[in-house]
Amino acid sequence: MNDKVHACSFCGAPQEPDRPLIAGIDGHICEACVGLAHQVVSSWGRGRALAAPLKSPPKPLEIKEHLDRYVIGQEAAKETLAVAVYNHYKRLASESKNPRRTLEDDDRVEIDKSNILLLGPSGTGKTLLASTLARIVGVPFVIADATTLTQAGYVGEDVESILARLLDASNGSREVAEWGMVYIDEIDKLARQGETAHGTRDVSGEGVQQALLKLVEGTQVKVNPKGRKDAGESVLIDTRNILFVVGGAFAGLAKVLMRRLRPGPSSIGFHAEVGAFAASEDRDPRLYQSTHPDDLRQFGLIPEFIGRFPVLVGLQELDEAALVRILTEPRNALVRQYQQMFVFEGVRLDFTPEAVTAIARLAIERGTGARGLRSVMEGLLQRAMFELPSMSNVVECLVDAEAVTGQGAIQWRYRGADSADVQAEAGG
C-alpha cells in the first residue's frame, strides 16, 4: 500500500482530502493550476485571433475623428466613447502579452472595465454613435434592444441571447467573443414598473435589470449556440472583459432633474406664485449632462444596476445650428441622400441656405430631434419625387424657404429654359 503524499508539480500544494491531484507520468497537478492553465491557453488563442487589430489599435483622437464624420456635436459623448474603446484595446493587449501565469501575481495589475451609460432625449444620436462605433472597432461588436428582453422562463429573449449574438459575430470563437463589445439600446424601457393592478410580475423591467447585473459585471454564462450549422454543446463565456455600453432616451428624466436643479415654490394656496415653476420649464439643452445616479434611481433603475455603469454620459439636445450641420456636413447627410436620389433621375436638387434653416426649425417644433429631419424632408419632397419620374427635360429642382413653410412651391428648371421661365413655372 502506497501511503506517500504527493504534491502539485506546479504550485507545490500537498495532496489533501479536499484537494485531489491529477496524476501524470512524472508529476501531479491540482485543480487550481488546471484552471490557471486553461486561462493562459485561452489568452493565447484570443491573442492569435486578434493579432491584426491589436497591432495598430486606433488612438482616441483617431476614433473621435471617425465619429466626427458621421455624428455632429455631442463632443463629450464622442470623447468618452473614444477613450473607452482605446482602453478596451489596451486591456486586450495587456491580457495577450502578459497573461496570468501564477496563482498569485503580486506585480501584475488587472485593469477593470468601465461600462458606459448614454442618456439623452430622442434624436440626439445615441444609436448613431453606437452603429458608427461598430465600423471602427476591430473586436466583435453587437447592438441589442432592451425592449425584447424578459426574465428567463417567460416569452421573449433572455439576456443570454445577447451573448449568443456576440458569439455569432465572433464566428463561433469563444475566446474572441470574451473580448467583444455590446451596446444595449432603449435601456430606459427597463425602468421599474412595480406590481400592476392584476398583480403580474414586472418581467420585462426590473426583472431584466436583475438578470443583467452579473452579466454586465463579469460572470461565466452558459450559452447555447442556437441556429449555427456547427452548433454543438453549450459554450461557457466569461463576460469579465466584455465592455457594455447602454443608452436610452429616459423620457421624463428631465422633470426629475429640474426638480433637483430648480426646485419650485414650496408654498401652496392663495399666496403661492403660480407662474414660478412654469417659467422653469425652459430647460437648458445640456440638462442631461447634470444627471446623478440618484436621478436614475428615481426614474426607476435599481441601485445595483446603476452601480455597474460608473461612466454616465449625458447627450445635449440639438439646437437649430446643430440640425443645420446634420443636414449638410456628415458623409451620409440627409441633403446628400436626397440629392443622390434625384441624381438617379438625372436631376440636380438644390436647397437655399434659408430653406435648410427652415427645415431645421420645423424639426425642432416637432420635438423629435434629428429624427424629425427626415420626416420634414419626406413631407417636403414627396410630391416632387412622385412627379419627377414622369417629367421630361428637367435639369434642376430648387427648394427655397417659401417652399418649406408652405408659402410657395418647389421650382423646376427645364433644359433650355432661362430664369424667367423657371419663375413662371413655379407661379403657374
**C-alpha cell read off for 215:** 452579466
Give the three-class secondary structure for 58: coil
- Measured in degrees and rounded to the nearest 5, phi and psi for residue 138 equal -100, 0
397 a known binding residue?
no
d(CA 86, CA 77): 14
Tell which residue, 282, 284, 356, 350, has the closest CA to residue 320. Answer: 356
d(CA 187, CA 7): 51
8 a known binding residue?
yes
Query: By the 8 A CB rule, do 244 and 216 touch?
Result: yes
11 a known binding residue?
yes
**C-alpha cell read off for 192:** 421599474
Tell which residue, 299, 388, 304, has the closest CA to residue 339. Answer: 388
425 to 352, 353, 395, 422: CA distances (angstroms): 18, 22, 14, 5
- Measured in degrees and rounded to the nearest 5, phi and psi for residue 404 equal -70, -45
Judged by phi (left if over 0) then psi (alpha if -120 to 50, else beta), residue 351 lies in beta
DSSP β-bridge partners for residue 414: 394
Annotated binding site: 8, 11, 30, 33
Residues making up the annotated binding site for Zn(2+) are 8, 11, 30, 33
